[in-house]
Each structure stands twice: as structure tokens, then as C-alpha cells.
Amino acid sequence: MKLLNLDYLPGQQSMIIFHALARMGFEGLVIVSPEVPLASIGYFQDAEKEVDLEYCKKRGIYVMRREVGGGATYLDKNQIFYQLIWRNGNPCFPNRIKDIFSYLSQPVCDTYQDFGIDAHFRPENDIVTKKEQKIAGEGGGDIGQSMVFVGGILIDFDYQTMSKILRVPDEKFRGKIYKSMEENLTNMKRELGNVPDRKEIICSLINNYEKITGKLKPVNLTIETINKMIELEQWLTSDKFLYKKTPRIPQGVKIREGVEILYGTSKARGGLIRTAQEVKNNFIKNIDISGDFQLVPKSELDRLENSLIKTKRKEKILISKIENYYDKHKIESPGVEPEDLTNAIIEAEKV
């Protein structure tokens, strides 16, 4: 496997790079940081629900959707991203997404340990300290014929800006978000009282990953990869892709007799689930499911939504249909079971 140690990349290139390499069949580890700040949302999230797009626009903060799950986050040069990419079926890696997270998180935990921070993996996709404070969030999924696993070492963290980029119902709630992050999210500077040398952190991270990947061969960024990144940037930064999970169902419009618009939010062990439904006589006419969960293969969520159209909103019917769809299409969504999706649909209400 290869090692692409890129230091800093401009714009949104620090995120676009793994999307390009996965499509090109690259296998190896990428180490990179963003030269300028950006906000990144998970593949299954609704951008308008998760991020204050107006604030980001005013501050010149890029906003992009990535092709792996997880939640909205703020990225800057105080974070070192690790991006592991391999082809589907590579016997060196676990087959199940749940096993991938625990397996590939260990080198990151070991890196924190190397600097005196007692860290361990917490299902479904977090690395936490001994006090259970999150110190790294991770995501993973399928891109083309490849699998990717991504996360970031938090050297330091801008809690203030993170609280500003998130969409909240009011400013009082934003204060609660800030306080919660300060209490539950930590970083190396806070834990150690100083900022470790960046090169030493990267060296430790590479050494720890080589314990499971074998010796990584250093390579340079090629012109082919740069061209692929330029090509992909047009799509990944387009409004069509950014708003792909924004519900097609209008809010606040007059609906004809017998038709209801229902919205709901439900918390599962593996993440938040949002639903927007157009319902006629208790049958689903249209549905959008979004959230900060992980789901593989990622293309199956849209197809699952389509399969639920004309389904009666009855718990037993829904859970049976979703379970059958999961089994038939070999869907994995750690911490989000068919029962969780069913509950999110059933619990939705009129706004």
C-alpha cells in the first residue's frame, strides 16, 4: 500500500482528494490538513437543517458534502486528517463496516497514547479519552469500487466557530451547543497543555498504521490525480450535490384533503435520523430520510426511500419491509437498525 503525505491543501482539496483516489483505485493512507477552514456535512445529511449556510457564506467558509456518513463538522489546519482507501474485497481489511471502524481506529488510539493521552474507540464511530470526551470523529463508506475510512487528529479546536456554523433554532440554544462541545469534545492542546510537533504526530500516525497495513510506500501527488480532483470539484461543490438530501417535500404549503406533511427527528445509537413525509390516508406518498449515521452501500438509502412509497404507516408493515430490504441488499448501518428507521417514520408529526 501507498503513503501520500500531503501536508496542507488549499480550498476543499483536503476532502476532495480521497474522493478522487477512491475512484482511481488507489490503495493506501493519505495524510492531509486544510489550508483554509471549511465545513463538511455527512453524505446523508440535509445541508439546510445542519449548517448555517448564511453564516458560512458571510465568513467565506467553504461548505461541502462528503461521500461518507457522519455529522457536520468544522475543519481547519489544527486537524490532521487520516484517509485510508482500499479496493472492495481486499483481504487485509474486515468486510463489515462495523468491524472496519474498530479495527482502523486502533492506530489512531495508539497515536494519542504515544503522546500520553489515554484514548480508546467508542462505538459507533468515535475515539474518546479516559473521561469519555470525544477526541476524534470518523466516517466511512463506499466510493466507486473502493472503501474509505476517514477521521482527524484534533491538535486544537475552534469551539466558537463550530458552534456558529451549526444550524440551531435560536441563539440561546447555540450557547448550549457551545457549552456541550466544551464539556464533551477535547483536543491534544487541552489534554497536554501544549501543542505537540506536527511532524512527530504524523510520524507516529504512519508508524501505527503500518502495524496493520505493512510498510507504506511514499508516493507523490500525480497530475492524473490533480486532474481528477478538478473534475470532481465541479460536482462535489455544486448546489445539486450539496442539497441532495434537502426534502423534496415543501413545508408550510396548503395540502389538499386527506394529505399530510409530517416531519420528525429520532435519535438512534448510531446517529440522528430525520424524516420528511408526504402522507395520504396514512399511506406514504413521498419520503426523505436524512441524518448523521453511516450506511453502506450509500446508494441504497435513496432506493429504500423509493421502496417505501405506497406503504402503509403501520409499525409492523414498515419494519418488515425495511428488514427485508436490508437483508436483500446487504445494507449495513452501524447503530441504526430497521427498527430505528421505523420509529423515526412512525413518530413524525405535523409541523
Task: Annotate 236-285 with DSSP letters as a single string.
Answer: HTSHHHHTTTS-SS-SS----TTEEEEEEEEEETTEEEEEEEEEETTEEE
CATH architecture of 2-242: 2-Layer Sandwich (3.30)
Query: Would you state the pLDDT for residue 170?
Result: 83
Q: Which residue has the cell 458552534?
A: 163
Whether 259-350 and 2-242 are alike in CATH topology: the answer is no
φ, ψ (nearest 5 deg) of residue 263? -130, 145
Host H or E run for residue 14:
helix 13-23
Contact 100, 93 (CB under 8 A): yes
How far apart, in whole angstroms, are the C-alpha atoms of residue 148 and residue 156? 25
Class of domain 259-350: alpha beta
Residues 289, 159: Cα–Cα separation, whole Å: 29
Query: What pLDDT is attached to residue 255?
Result: 58
Q: Where are the domains of the chain?
A: 2-242, 259-350
Q: How far is CA 335 from CA 200, 266, 293, in A?
A: 34, 13, 8
What are φ and ψ of residue 99, in 5° steps? -75, -30
**Mean pLDDT by 10-residue block, N- to C-terminus, for the chain (351 residues)?**
97 97 98 97 97 96 96 97 97 94 98 98 96 96 97 97 93 92 97 97 98 97 97 95 89 66 95 96 96 97 98 98 98 97 95 71
User: Rounded to whole angstroms, how far apart are CA atoms 33 and 57?
Assistant: 21
The confidence score (pLDDT) of residue 171 equals 85
Angstrom CA distances, 199 to 31, 78, 82, 202, stand at 11, 13, 14, 5
Measure the CA–CA gap between 20 and 97, rounded to whole angstroms: 21
E-state strands within 167-228: 217-218
Going 214 to 219 to 224 to 226, the CA torsion angle's sign is: positive
Grid coordinates representing 39 are: 465545513
The cell 486544510 sits on which residue? 34
Are the CB atoms for 107 and 181 separated by under 8 Å? no
Count of C-beta atoms within a 10 Å radius of residue 91: 6
**What's residue 250's pLDDT?**
67
User: Exposure string (b/e) for 115-146, b if CB count within 10 Å is 16 or more?
Assistant: bebebebeebbbbbbeeebbbbbbbbbbbeeb
Confidence (pLDDT) at 253: 52
